[in-house]
Structure formats: structure tokens, C-alpha cells
């Protein structure tokens, strides 16, 4: 029988995720030699290498990939045991890992953190901001308990709960104030500034303009809504932003904001979590708290 520890399995998962000993060690809050030693001990116990090491990269071997699949299942089951205990005690307590996409986090979190602290004083909230594909990956792997993002995600293993429908607004140079608001087709012919590849908000904006998402758009992409708005203020083009971002992003930019009159682009914001999560009932209650915190400012 092979002796292994949960700590070793978590180190394997971290190293597979980061592909770098130093980054994996930092993510696990241990020193690099400590992580390396644990990985080496596990490989010696198996009698086979888990990772292929080169001067520039670390990647899983075929055997390592098979081990990682089972390690993730074991770690997820262990995490769910803790969730089961929390659910049995009633209410939400202890660490809660919440993921949020970047086009929601800066604008929604200030509204909901106070409400969550008031309703769940015994919760230690840990927040991770990243793109939707990574949030879904972390949910599946058990590294997150729940996430707030744009729906639908259409993952059969996840529960989706509607929170709020939000319109997009047009941001254009201040000199365009009062001009007719273009529709989607007209907007597609303009110099439209968008978030870079990977952001679901980019795809939603392109969908409204009926533009294929795979068209090259060199020089028109930004890494954040703030960057896009500042580019508009500099006269480079126009952009779309979600309504919740208007107050934050336009206050220091020389831009005007216009709302669409006929077809109004929008997105649905929701919470998702694993259907198998023992905390499903508690997360339903948390979704109600978040929804109530959004609505007054909507």
C-alpha cells in the first residue's frame, strides 16, 4: 500500500496548474524546497515520475495526468466533507471561496460585502477575481464554493441562479453628446473598443453588433473597462460598458454616456455552484442576500 498525504495531492494539483515549482509553492504558502521534496517523495512511493522537468517548464507525464485526475476527485470529496459538516451545523460558517468575473467584481463587491458580513458574521470570505473559464475550472475542481458571473454557463454539473438583468450603455467622446444613438449594425461600422479575448463581455458586445468573435481587431482591445473608457476619452473610439460600471468608470473621463432606445443589449448576472455541493441550501440563501443588495442600486 502506498502511503500518501492530502498535502502531497494538493502540491501535485498546484504544480500541474502553475507548471512552475516556485509559483506552485507560493500558491500553497510553502517554500519551494518543501514542495519539491514532497513531490519527490510521492514519485518515489509510486516508483514513477509524475512530472517531466525541463530547464524552462514542468509538465505532467502520462502517469501524472492519471494521478491528477484521481487526486482532484479525492481533494474535492475531502472539501465536500467539510461542507457537509458546515451544512449540518446550519447557516454559513468558516471559509467561503467566492469567484467573480472582472467586469462585475469592482462594481458589485462594494455593494454585497457588507450585506454578506451582516447576514453571515461567521463566514471568512475569500474572493478570487478571474475570467469565466478559470472560475468554472476552479468550481469543478473544488477550489471555489460559488461564483458570480454572466449566465448562462450551460454546465450540467452546476446550479445557475438568476440575480439581475443589466443593460449595456454606449460610452463615446463628450463631443458626441446629444447625437442619435446608433443601433447594433451602425455600431459595428464604428471604431468599437472591446475587452481582450477571454472576457465574456467582449463576446456579448460583439453579439449585439452582429460581429463574428473571431475577426482580427488589432489595436482595439483593452485589458479593463477603465482602459476602454479612458481610450474613448482620448478620442480613439467608442465602447460599451455594463450599467453598474458607469458611476465608477466615467467620473474621471471626458466622455458621454448614452442608452440604447430600441434593441437594448444586456446581460444576465447570476450565481453558480456545484449541484453536488452540500452547501447548496445555504448558497440559495446567500443568493437572496446578494440579489437584495444589488436591487436598490440597480
Fill in the DSSP letter of residue 214: T
90-164+274-297 CATH fold: D-Maltodextrin-Binding Protein; domain 2 (3.40.190)
Burial category of 264 from C-beta neighbours within 10 Å (exposed 0-12, middle 13-18, buried 19 and up)? exposed
pLDDT given at position 68: 92
The pLDDT value given to residue 297: 47
Tens of pLDDT, residue by residue over 38-81, are 999 999 999 999 999 988 889 999 999 999 998 988 888 887 77
Asked whether the predicted pLDDT for residue 288 surpasses 80, the reply is yes
Whole-number pLDDT of residue 213: 52
Residue 298's pLDDT band (boundaries 50, 70, 90)?
very low
d(CA 282, CA 120): 11
Q: Is the CATH number of domain 166-266 3.40.190.10?
A: yes
Beta bridge partners of 255: 173
The mean pLDDT of 240-257, rounded to a whole number, is: 93
User: 90-164+274-297 and 166-266 share one CATH topology?
Assistant: yes
Domain ranges of the chain: 6-77, 90-164+274-297, 166-266
pLDDT digits (tens, 9 = 90+) for 86-131: 666 666 778 899 999 999 999 999 999 999 999 999 899 999 999 9
pLDDT per position as a tens digit, 1-25: 678 899 999 999 999 988 999 999 9
**Phi-psi category of residue 190: left, alpha or beta, with phi > 0 → left and psi -120 to 50 → alpha:** beta
Amino acid at each position: 500500500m502506498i502511503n500518501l498525504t492530502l498535502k502531497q495531492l494538493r502540491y501535485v494539483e498546484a504544480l500541474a496548474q502553475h507548471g512552475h515549482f516556485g509559483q506552485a509553492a507560493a500558491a500553497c504558502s510553502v517554500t519551494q524546497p518543501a514542495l519539491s521534496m514532497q513531490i519527490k517523495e510521492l514519485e518515489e512511493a509510486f516508483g514513477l515520475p509524475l512530472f517531466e522537468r525541463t530547464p524552462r517548464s514542468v509538465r505532467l507525464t502520462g502517469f501524472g495526468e492519471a494521478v491528477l485526475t484521481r487526486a482532484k476527485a479525492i481533494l474535492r470529496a475531502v472539501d465536500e466533507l467539510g461542507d457537509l459538516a458546515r451544512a449540518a451545523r446550519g447557516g454559513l460558517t468558516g471559509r467561503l471561496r467566492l469567484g467573480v468575473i472582472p467586469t462585475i467584481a469592482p462594481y458589485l463587491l462594494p455593494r454585497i460585502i457588507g450585506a454578506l458580513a451582516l447576514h453571515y458574521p461567521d463566514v471568512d470570505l475569500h474572493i478570487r477575481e478571474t475570467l469565466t473559464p478559470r472560475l468554472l475550472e476552479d468550481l469543478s475542481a473544488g477550489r471555489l464554493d460559488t461564483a458570480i458571473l454572466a449566465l448562462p454557463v450551460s454546465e450540467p454539473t452546476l446550479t445557475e441562479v438568476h440575480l439581475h438583468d443589466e443593460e449595456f450603455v454606449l460610452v463615446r467622446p463628450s463631443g458626441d453628446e446629444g447625437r442619435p444613438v446608433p443601433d447594433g449594425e451602425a455600431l459595428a461600422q464604428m471604431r468599437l473598443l472591446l475587452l481582450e479575448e477571454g472576457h465574456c463581455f467582449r463576446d456579448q458586445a460583439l453579439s449585439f453588433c452582429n460581429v463574428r468573435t473571431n475577426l482580427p481587431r488589432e489595436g482595439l482591445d483593452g485589458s479593463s473597462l477603465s482602459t476602454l473608457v479612458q481610450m474613448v476619452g482620448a478620442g480613439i473610439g467608442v465602447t460599451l460598458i455594463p450599467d453598474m460600471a458607469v458611476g465608477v468608470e466615467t467620473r474621471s473621463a471626458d466622455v458621454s454616456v448614452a442608452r440604447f432606445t430600441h434593441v437594448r443589449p444586456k446581460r444576465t448576472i447570476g450565481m453558480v455552484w456545484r449541484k453536488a455541493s452540500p452547501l447548496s441550501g445555504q448558497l440559495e440563501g446567500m443568493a437572496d442576500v446578494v440579489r437584495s443588495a444589488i436591487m436598490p442600486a440597480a
